[in-house]
């Protein structure tokens, strides 16, 4: 035991960065870290001062997945209870009302890769490596992978990744649409910092609704999607952000968004 926290949290200009901090084990997720990350994401979603979340890993790796060597002490009695911790975390990340960015350098495998895929945007370096490693461990997909992969790459490629459990390099992950941007390692910090600032400067209510509309729209009919869009747009027009944007456009300046409710 080093006494160091398994999760580091910093906030700069509305961007909350959560860093998995078990570098000796490539940030593998033990019970303590699962709970700490779930609590931290919930807290970030409830904090009006947080406008974006960055998920990162310490020590040159993103996350090596679940720590299968983790001892039984403190574990729930039944595996289904343990899996609820994993599933609850994936759901909190998916439903977080602020934009999320995975900052990936090094390995992202198993549940670690699915944590990255659960973020809205993924920034990786050419030295990143990815694998749905579950089958090699005699396990099936978890942490949302069975839902995320087919939507991101289609059913056939999802089956390839899950059944063969191959290691995919950063170039192929980018080609498949599993990485949003590939960035040189020396420029990764600056790129993610700028991306976080841009997201944090956006209209918080509109961005939250855009995220929810896109997530929900993947499973809905066009009729459902149009109804959701109309509801969301009505909410946007009831905030100060839409008028602020129109005024800024007319005055040829950048708007300042707050998400405040404008209806008396």
The domain spans of the chain are 7-200, 204-250
Nearest Cα residue to 16 out of 101, 87, 78, 74: 101
Question: What fold is seen in the domain 7-200?
Answer: 2-enoyl-CoA Hydratase; Chain A, domain 1 (3.90.226)
Taking alpha carbons only, the member of 104, 176, 117 closest to residue 147 is 117
- Residue-level pLDDT at 119: 98
Residue ranges of the chain with pLDDT lower than 70? 1-2, 70-77
d(CA 99, CA 94): 10
Whats the size of the chain, residue-wise?
Answer: 264
- First and final C-alpha spacing in the chain: 55
pLDDT at 51: 98
Q: Are 127 and 108 in contact (CB under 8 A)?
A: no
* Amino acid 150: pLDDT: 92
Beta strands in 120-247 (DSSP E): 121-124, 129-131, 167-169, 181-182
* 132 token code pair: 């749905």
Rounded to 5°, the CA angle 99-196-173 comes to: 70
Which pLDDT value is given to residue 1?
Answer: 45
Give the distance between the most distant pair of CA atoms in the chain.
62
204-250 CATH choice from 3.30.450, 1.20.120, 1.10.238, 1.10.12: 1.10.12
Distance CA 188, CA 199 (A): 16
- The angle formed by the CA atoms of residues 80, 89 and 18, to the nearest 5 degrees, is 145
Is residue 153 helix, strand or coil?
helix
Q: Cβ contacts of residue 240 below 8 Å, gap of 6+? A: 258, 259, 260, 261, 262
- Tens-place pLDDT, residues 39-58: 999 999 999 999 999 999 99
- Do residues 76 and 190 lie in contact, with contact meaning Cβ atoms separated by under 8 Å? no
Q: Would you state the pLDDT for residue 262?
A: 87
What's the pLDDT score for residue 168? 98
Name the token pair of 32. 């303590």
Whether the Cβ atoms of residue 41 and residue 7 lie closer than 8 Å to each other: no
From its phi and psi, is residue 110 left (phi > 0), alpha (psi between -120 and 50) or beta? left
Residue 121 dihedral angles phi and psi, to the nearest 5°: -135, 145
pLDDT computed for residue 234 by the predictor: 87
Rg of the chain over all Cα atoms, to the nearest angstrom: 19
| Residue range 107-136, pLDDT digits in tens | 999 999 999 999 999 999 999 999 999 999
């Amino acid at each position: 035991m080093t006494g160091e926290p398994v999760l580091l949290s910093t906030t700069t200009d509305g961007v909350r960065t959560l860093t998995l901090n078990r570098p000796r084990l490539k940030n593998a997720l033990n019970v303590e870290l699962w709970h700490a990350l779930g609590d931290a994401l919930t807290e970030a979603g409830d904090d009006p001062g947080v406008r974006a979340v960055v998920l990162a890993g310490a020590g040159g790796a993103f996350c090596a997945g679940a720590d299968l060597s983790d001892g039984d002490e403190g574990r729930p009695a039944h595996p289904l209870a343990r899996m609820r911790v994993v599933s609850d975390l994936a759901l909190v990340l998916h439903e977080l009302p602020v934009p999320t960015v995975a900052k990936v350098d090094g390995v992202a495998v198993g549940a670690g890769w699915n944590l990255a895929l659960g973020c809205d945007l993924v920034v990786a370096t050419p030295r990143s490596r990815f694998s749905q490693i579950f089958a090699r461990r005699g396990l099936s997909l978890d942490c949302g992978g069975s839902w995320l992969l087919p939507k991101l790459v289609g059913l056939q490629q999802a089956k390839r990744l899950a059944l063969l459990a191959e290691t995919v390099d950063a170039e192929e992950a980018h080609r498949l649409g599993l990485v949003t941007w590939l960035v040189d390692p020396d420029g990764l910090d600056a790129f993610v910092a700028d991306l976080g600032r841009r997201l944090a400067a956006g209209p918080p209510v509109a961005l939250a609704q855009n995220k929810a509309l896109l997530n929900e729209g993947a499973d809905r009919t066009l009729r459902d999607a149009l109804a959701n869009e109309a509801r969301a747009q009505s909410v946007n027009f009831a905030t100060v952000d839409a008028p602020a944007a129109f005024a800024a456009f007319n005055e040829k300046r950048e708007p300042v968004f707050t998400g405040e409710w404008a209806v008396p």
